[in-house]
Amino acid sequence: MSIANKVLAVNNDLPIRTNLPVHSGKVRSVYWLTEQDSRRLIAEKGYNVPADTPLAIMVISDRISAFDCIWHGENNLQGVPGKGAALNAISNHWFGLFKQHGLADSHILDIPHPFVWIVQKATPVKIEAICRSYITGSMWRAYEKGEREFCGIKLNDGLSRDQKLPELLMTPSTKGILTDVPGVPAQDDVNITRKNIEDNFEAFNFKSKQDIDLYETLLKDGFSLISDALAEIDQIFVDTKFEFGYVKDVDGNDKLIYMDEVGTPDSSRIWDGEQYRQGNIVENSKEGFRQLLLNHFDDADILLNKDRMGEREALARDNALPESVLMAVSETYTGIAEKITGEKIVISDDPKAEIIAILKQQYQLID
């Protein structure tokens, strides 16, 4: 069997019973279950949520996005083998650690298959909650150009590229386009300050001003837990993005939870500790793929300049990357997942057929 057949590239065409359009993002697709199926599963599986909670099937793919584009390889390789399973395994591991340490729950109720989560409906907080422990990437590029204030936080002169910051920085940005928020441009992914959030907490979907403190605590504590665990396997947690939302607990009360994914190579930078001590940066995250793309194409500005999005999309569409590049990314993702979880990532021969069989036989969600 060719390696291309082991990749789950299209994940929005599964015959899962639903009355709503499938929502497909860069990597995951979401199937909202019928009210009847949601109620049935809550009763049958004993999920600890109100009986009328809407449920969804969330299916990850092996697609790889970078610079807001989906990339592909030669020989019809439409993704990275093992990537989806690795991302889910890492998130599952960290969510479990958070719960074990009493931080907060996630939106995940069940894991039928390495590519699949059953989740409860959540109302997302409209913030990309970003934490940085080192100065690198976009922050370093801005700092190098003379910027010293980031999301209302002032940095001192004299910092060097890739050095550890004096303290953990929270540099949030908007998730989605927010209109009518004073001082916040109506654009996706723009930096915001804590004061922006405090003054307009309802616009960001917080239920109360006090929940801003809770979100910051969950962000810092979650970062510290992952950072400490990665240090034990000599990996450095450089920076990451968390997302939060509200769900109803079994009594119908709102509770703030972690959602989407946490501590993965897609949402974080992770560096090899031994190499860092020798003065080298070896990425165990998608940042390595981003750097490869920047070096692969003659005009890196196309990838970095948002005003050249049309050219960037054409670059991703018209250029099949060498198969060796995507296989190297596969090794990075599966390698770090196995280090974190202590378990082997198995690359399925036919992930779609497996998912369909499980959801049909064990969950009765496919006719």
Residue 213: its H or E element: helix 210-231
The per-type count for the chain, helices as H runs and strands as E runs, is 11, 17
Q: pTM to 2 decimals? A: 0.95
CB 12 within 8 A of CB 22: yes
Give me the pLDDT at residue 120, please.
97
For 288-337, what is the HEC assignment?
HHHHHHHHHCCCCHHHHCHHHHHHHHHHHHHCEECHHHHHHHHHHHHHHH
* Domain boundary assignment for the chain: 3-122+341-361, 125-277
Residue with tokens 């801005």: 142
Q: What angle do CA 245, 261, 211 make, to 5 degrees?
A: 25
Alpha carbons 233 and 336: distance in angstroms, whole number:
10
Give me the architecture of the 3-122+341-361 domain, per CATH.
2-Layer Sandwich (3.30)
Angle between helices 210-231 and 83-100 (to 10 degrees): 110
199 token code pair? 């003054």
- When pLDDT is averaged across residues 52-59 and rounded to a whole number, the result is 98
pLDDT band at 187 (very low <50, low <70, confident <90, very high): confident
pLDDT band at 336 (very low <50, low <70, confident <90, very high): very high
Do 3-122+341-361 and 125-277 show the same overall fold? no
Alpha carbons 280 and 306: distance in angstroms, whole number:
29
Alpha carbons 174 and 40: distance in angstroms, whole number:
36
Across all residues in the chain, what is the average pLDDT? 95
CB 120 within 8 A of CB 107: yes
Alpha carbons 349 and 1: distance in angstroms, whole number:
8
- When pLDDT is averaged across residues 340-359 and rounded to a whole number, the result is 95
Q: How far is CA 74 from CA 176, 185, 321, 334, in A?
A: 33, 40, 6, 21
Q: What is the tens place of the pLDDT at every residue in 88-145? A: 999 999 999 999 999 999 999 999 999 999 999 999 999 999 999 999 988 999 999 9
Long-range pairs, 11-17, Cβ under 8 A, ≥24: 11/59, 11/60, 11/61, 11/115, 11/352, 14/59, 14/352, 14/355, 14/356, 14/359, 14/366, 15/356, 15/366, 15/367, 16/57, 16/359, 16/365, 16/366, 17/365, 17/366, 17/367
- When pLDDT is averaged across residues 285-308 and rounded to a whole number, the result is 92
Ramachandran angles phi, psi of 131, nearest 5°: -120, 140
Q: Taking Cα atoms as reference points, which of 220, 175, 216, 179 lies closest to residue 200?
A: 179
Alpha carbons 360 and 366: distance in angstroms, whole number:
5
pLDDT above 70 for 1 = no
Alpha carbons 282 and 53: distance in angstroms, whole number:
44
Percent of the residues in the chain that have a pLDDT greater than 70, as a whole number? 100
Q: Which amino acid is at 102?
A: G
Q: What is the tens place of the pLDDT at every residue in 168-177? A: 999 999 998 8
Give me the pLDDT at residue 279, please.
96
Encode burial over 247-283: b for 16+ CB neighbours within 10 A, e otherwise: bbeeeeeeebbbbbbbbbbbbbbbbbeeebeeeebeb
Q: What is the tens place of the pLDDT at every residue in 32-53? A: 999 999 999 999 999 999 999 9
Provide CATH code, domain 125-277: 3.30.470.20
pLDDT above 90 for 260 = yes
Give me the pLDDT at residue 201, please.
95
